[in-house]
């Protein structure tokens, strides 16, 4: 759902103009922590090779949920910088999903129907939007939202049957209907409410219930090493490219690309349910993922947030305070009367 919304936020024309920068930043953001954390887990912590691959995959991600939330709340999603960051985030998470699929998941024959349905929906939905919104849009029953949910559920069901992930077709479907969402902002806002308030919390609650806090406390050294490895490797790989393609907001871009949450948790959860990582390893990975969702985001917003008026974000300039304090109202002198009272 979040991948679909992120795709819908991207302007196709600007995406075509910045795809090289997005590809470079996103690929570097994945490759450096994946390789570095994998080697650290295998040779530094003596994990099994498969467990080390899960560790590298889980900590290679950039959180689409966190990046999307930050950009939307600050209004940066409407700027070229925000679109570049979202596109690069998608590239990183796509690489993570591909790594997880290639290393661990064996597709079934359902992959063919999954690919066919994905192509059909991506081609057909944008062409139906004018007729559909004219017939069923702006109604209390929210038919347009139900239709998009139905399409996403079909993709998710087929992806599960195929032992794959629906992240790529969901993003491309969102990208295909992005012009529709640009014309119907109220519908887009309702999608956000459903996604953030209703759907995503259940996934994170389920994963959090499997984390063992005593095991995390018993392995604080490993926790710090994994956290430091992800942040350092992400920064070393992304910052030089961000200075070239996102100047003067390289630090802000680098910190957002260092976040992790959704696909990191998915990777760790898969490793745990498949018996590849132990409960202690799973607990460490999920804890690091959660910490990287909080720490880089807080630093980015506190110290490196872009100047919103300079980026042309509507309503971002400081507004004068219209409400007077009680003392101001009571102490203000009465206006002088220049003439006789009527």
Tens of pLDDT, residue by residue over 8-67, are: 777 777 777 788 999 999 999 999 999 999 999 999 999 999 999 999 999 999 988 889
With contact defined as beta carbons under 8 Å apart, do 41 and 50 qualify? no
Tokens of residue 281, six digits:
């390893």
pLDDT confidence of residue 141 = 61
C-alpha–C-alpha distance, residues 33 and 48, integer Å:
18
Mean pLDDT of the chain: 83
Burial of 20 (0-12, 13-18, 19+ CB in 10 A): exposed
Mean pLDDT value across residues 221-226 = 97
Write the pLDDT tens digit of every residue in 160-214. 899 887 877 888 888 888 887 777 777 777 777 777 666 667 666 777 788 999 9
The DSSP output letter for 43 is I
Most confidently modeled of 259-273, 279-293, 318-332? Answer: 279-293
Write the pLDDT tens digit of every residue in 81-109. 998 998 899 899 889 888 888 888 788 89
String of b and e for 221-248 (b: at least 16 CB within 10 Å)? Answer: ebbebbbebbbebbbebbbebbeebbee
pLDDT band at residue 285 using 50, 70 and 90 as cut-offs: very high
Tokens of residue 37, six digits:
């954390």
> Between 167-176 and 2-9, two packed helices, what is the crossing angle to 10 degrees?
40
DSSP assignment of 48-59 equals: -HHHHHHHHHHT
Task: Report how far Cα 10 is from the mean position of its chain's Cα atoms.
Answer: 13
The DSSP H or E segment spanning 63 is none
Higher pLDDT, 6 or 320: 6
3-state secondary structure of 198: helix
Higher pLDDT, 69 or 251: 251
Cα-Cα-Cα-Cα dihedral sign, residues 31, 34, 36, 39 = negative
C-alpha–C-alpha distance, residues 257 and 66, integer Å:
10
Burial of 126 (0-12, 13-18, 19+ CB in 10 A): middle
Write the pLDDT tens digit of every residue in 193-207. 777 666 667 666 777
pLDDT confidence of residue 247 = 86
Mean pLDDT value across residues 111-115 = 93
Tokens of residue 54, six digits:
């899960």
Report whether CATH 2.60.120.10 matches the domain 2-310. no
pTM of the complete model: 0.78
C-alpha–C-alpha distance, residues 47 and 57, integer Å:
14
pLDDT confidence of residue 298 = 95
């Amino acid at each position: 759902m979040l991948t679909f919304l992120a795709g819908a936020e991207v302007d196709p024309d600007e995406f075509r103009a910045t795809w090289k920068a997005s590809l470079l930043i996103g690929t570097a953001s994945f490759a450096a922590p994946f390789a570095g954390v994998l080697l650290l887990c295998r040779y530094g912590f003596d994990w099994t090779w498969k467990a080390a691959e899960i560790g590298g995959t889980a900590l290679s991600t950039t959180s689409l949920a966190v990046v999307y939330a930050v950009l939307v709340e600050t209004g940066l999603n409407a700027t070229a910088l925000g679109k570049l960051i979202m596109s690069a985030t998608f590239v990183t998470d796509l690489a993570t999903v591909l790594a997880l699929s290639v290393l661990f998941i064996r597709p079934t024959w359902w992959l063919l129907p999954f690919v066919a349905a994905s192509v059909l929906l991506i081609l057909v939905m944008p062409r139906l939007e004018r007729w559909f919104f004219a017939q069923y849009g702006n109604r209390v029953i929210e038919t347009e939202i139900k239709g998009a949910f139905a399409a996403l559920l079909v993709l998710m069901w087929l992806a599960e049957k195929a032992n794959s992930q629906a992240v790529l077709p969901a993003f491309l479907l969102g990208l295909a209907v992005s012009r529709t969402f640009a014309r119907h902002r109220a519908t887009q806002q309702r999608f956000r409410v459903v996604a953030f308030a209703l759907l995503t919390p259940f996934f994170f609650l389920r994963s959090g219930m499997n984390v063992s806090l005593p095991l995390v406390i018993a392995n604080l050294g490993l926790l710090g090493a994994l956290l430091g490895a992800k942040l350092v490797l992400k920064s070393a790989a992304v910052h030089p490219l961000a200075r070239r393609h996102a100047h003067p907001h390289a630090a802000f871009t680098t910190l957002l690309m260092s976040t992790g949450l959704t696909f990191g948790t998915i990777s760790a959860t898969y490793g745990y349910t498949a018996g590849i990582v132990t409960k202690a390893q799973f607990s460490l990975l999920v804890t690091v993922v959660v910490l990287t969702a909080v720490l880089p985001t807080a630093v980015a917003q506190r110290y490196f947030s872009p100047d919103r008026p300079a980026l042309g974000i509507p309503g971002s300039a400081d507004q004068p305070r219209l409400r007077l304090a009680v003392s101001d109202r009571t102490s203000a002198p009465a206006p002088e009367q220049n003439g006789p009272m009527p």
